[in-house]
Chain A
Amino acid sequence: MPDQMTPLAVTAYTASSAIGHGLAAQLDALRQARSGLRPNDFSSAPLACWIGRVAGLEDAPLPPAHAAWECRNNRLAWLGLNQDGFLDRVRAARARYGADRVALLLGTSTASIGATEAAYRRLDADGGFADADLQMPALHAPHSLAAFVAAALTLTGPCLTVSTACSSGAKVFASAERMIRLGLVDAAVVGGVDTLCDSVLFGFNALELVSAAPCRPFDAARDGISIGEAAGFALLERIETAPAAPRLLGYGEASDAHHMSTPHPHGLGAELALRDALARAGLAPAQVDYINLHGTASLKNDEVEAALLARMFPARTRASSTKGYTGHTLGAAGIIEAAIALQAIEHGFVPGNLGGDTPDPGCGPQFAWANEQQRVEVALSNSFGFGGNNACLAFARAGFAA
């Protein structure tokens, strides 16, 4: 087990998804139990499913200075950066520490693959990319998101794309903690952005993992995921600089070593990640007030995760999946759900597990099926991905001592 780590301050954070732009809209949708899912009106060919589509992106081009990065994923990144005063907080960190002393670590599953898909729909007569697409090589690579955000934020320090499918947006917190601890940087912008695209809609559909109805996490009759898109960011600094800010208390990462697209039947990697996060945070399971679950509404994930929850936590720990609100936002899920965990701490609010009208019998007493109002000192967020890639984050209120 790892040693307990020195917590980091989460000095700013923001989230934008199908339930709204920014934290106030997100909290309002959660409080009103208002899902952002709607019938699929996005894919280039019809596909009967529900999606979590962010409103307004079609009418929100990048500013002219960033036109070379124009694509839906970077539009969503820019929209996300412009919420909750986040840009100003990054500018202040850049001024305080220097542009090369702030790391930029972003998770994404497919980055701007939508732009590559579009280029393939309009190939030249000779079968190659059209001239306009040839002129934007940086868009046709997995690093396009982080490269754009680095340019937009004028950050010149370490800059990394983490792409471990659906755990990407959580693992960036772990990379940031290591770099700050080693003195490579003084602060880190972490986050994740993924946008709807044909690759994921038709890809998950080919794997028979997509529901034709709005997803129902942990429901006995659940029959698959709903795919969403989102952008979220957080700024991490040492706690001495912001003693009143909420804290990243710990993180855990582990591999299933089982199957490329099916979780380990006993949640082995998920449990290892969870226990690692608790050890780094110096927490016992009974000290955890709220867990934002991965809860995708796939048959297997929810079965394995519900069993893990039931065997590790007391009944007083509250838990829910919020994918019934946002859909599964893939590489952004880690950061969006970290933001929900942080809002649970900030507002004393446990969001209900939307869509679980007939709870699966494997679910224990920890599930918050409807919204609950209660003080939350410690909140966890689970993120599990293809390839058996698991991550767990632990957050706490300012001043919390394990």
Chain B
Amino acid sequence: MTPLQVYVEGIGLWSPQLADFAALRMLLDGATPAPPPARPTATALPPNERRRAPESVLLAVEVAGQAVAMSGRDAATLACVFASSHGDQAITDYMCATLAQAPAELSPIRFHNSVHNAPAGYWTIATGCHAPSTAVAAQRASFGAGLLEAVSQALAGQRPVLLVCSDSGGSGPLAEVTGCGQSFGCALVLAPQAGPASVARLSLSTLSGYGAAAALPAPLDAWRDANASASALALLQLLARGHGRCQLPAAAALGLDLGVEAVA
């Protein structure tokens, strides 16, 4: 197939070690960026929503806000794709533990925050966005599969799209099986055409029979092992360097071949 091409206009990033995309650049340049506060600030949310929102929502809104600010776009106009391998593990842990002991005491707020599209809901409400929004998952391939969905939307609809991929750290018995121990989130604003805010051109094609992911330099490799969404680091480090090629999983046996070129 002819590679699909989109333009990256904004990049958001948050983990316990990295406050934003600039921090990743510093790290790759050999410096030691200052870690962010323990909870993402998620300034796009009004203060009362920020207090009520679960951690998974704060994380997704934080990186979404960073990427949209960098793009200079109006968030209200952007279609959005929110990908996550596990949703809010802390809420799933709370719900399953409560249901096992006292099901009638289940919290209504925690239940409505448990839906996989809670970040998409909070984000569209906070930004007044009536554009299409979706929430997707694909196990360890959630970033690649979400990227494919977002690129499809950008090119088929000829409109800019916000992609967010995030997983908050797990807790309780569930965390034993998810293997997702620390938070990681990232976001990209993708446009079908080059524009004044374009920072890189991204070309994408699918690869059948994809196997294991390529090695990443330390400490990125350990961060990727600790969070399914952090498979995005392979692409994010290319965006930080301004060019290069990488491969990412998009399904159990399907990969994405990604090329990054600087935009003059």
- Contacting pair B155 A260 (CB below 8 A): no
- Contacting pair A134 B103 (CB below 8 A): no
User: Which of B111, B125, B145, B174 is within 8 Å of A388, CB to CB?
Assistant: B125
Of the candidate stretches B8-16, B60-68, B114-122, the one touching chain A is B114-122
Interface residues of B in 4-34 (CB under 8 A from A): 4
Whether B226 is near chain A, meaning CB under 8 Å from some CB there, is no
The distance from the CB of A268 to the nearest CB of chain B, in whole angstroms, is 7
**Residue on A nearest B118 in the bound complex, by CB:** A387
**Residue on A nearest B124 in the bound complex, by CB:** A255
Whether A45 is near chain B, meaning CB under 8 Å from some CB there, is yes
User: Which of A117, A121, A143, A165 is within 8 Å of B115, CB to CB?
Assistant: A165
List of B residues within 8 angstroms of A205 by Cβ? 104, 106
The answer for the CA separation of A21 and B106 in the assembled complex, in Å, is: 33
User: Which of A140, A207, A208, A261 is within 8 Å of B178, CB to CB?
Assistant: A140
The answer for the CA separation of A97 and B136 in the assembled complex, in Å, is: 25
Of the candidate stretches A58-66, A123-131, A283-291, the one touching chain B is A123-131
The answer for the CA separation of A202 and B134 in the assembled complex, in Å, is: 25
The answer for the CA separation of A257 and B145 in the assembled complex, in Å, is: 25
Whether B222 is near chain A, meaning CB under 8 Å from some CB there, is no
The distance from the CB of B74 to the nearest CB of chain A, in whole angstroms, is 13
Chain A count of residues within 8 A CB distance of the other chain: 76
List of A residues within 8 angstroms of B97 by Cβ? 120
- Contacting pair A202 B176 (CB below 8 A): no
List of A residues within 8 angstroms of B137 by Cβ? 141-143, 160-161, 163
The answer for the CA separation of A157 and B103 in the assembled complex, in Å, is: 40
Whether B197 is near chain A, meaning CB under 8 Å from some CB there, is no
User: Which of A100, A158, A175, A202 is within 8 Å of B99, CB to CB?
Assistant: A202
- Contacting pair B117 A386 (CB below 8 A): yes
The answer for the CA separation of A365 and B185 in the assembled complex, in Å, is: 49
- Contacting pair B251 A164 (CB below 8 A): no
Whether B85 is near chain A, meaning CB under 8 Å from some CB there, is yes
**Residue on B nearest A207 in the bound complex, by CB:** B108
Of the candidate stretches B37-45, B146-154, B239-247, the one touching chain A is B146-154
The distance from the CB of A166 to the nearest CB of chain B, in whole angstroms, is 9
The answer for the CA separation of A254 and B179 in the assembled complex, in Å, is: 34
Interface residues of B in 93-149 (CB under 8 A from A): 95-97, 99-100, 103-104, 106-108, 111-118, 120-122, 124-125, 127-139, 142, 145, 148-149
List of B residues within 8 angstroms of A136 by Cβ? 177
List of A residues within 8 angstroms of B153 by Cβ? 178
The distance from the CB of A384 to the nearest CB of chain B, in whole angstroms, is 12
Whether A234 is near chain B, meaning CB under 8 Å from some CB there, is no
**Residue on B nearest A331 in the bound complex, by CB:** B116
The distance from the CB of B206 to the nearest CB of chain A, in whole angstroms, is 7
- Contacting pair A159 B252 (CB below 8 A): yes
List of A residues within 8 angstroms of B138 by Cβ? 143, 146, 159-161
- Contacting pair B103 A140 (CB below 8 A): no
User: Which of B86, B112, B152 is within 8 Å of A179, CB to CB?
Assistant: B152
User: Which of A113, A151, A164 is within 8 Å of B134, CB to CB?
Assistant: A164
List of B residues within 8 angstroms of A119 by Cβ? 96, 173
Pull 7 A–B residue pairs with CB atoms less than 8 Å apart, ordered by A: A100-B208, A129-B176, A158-B206, A183-B2, A203-B112, A207-B111, A257-B128
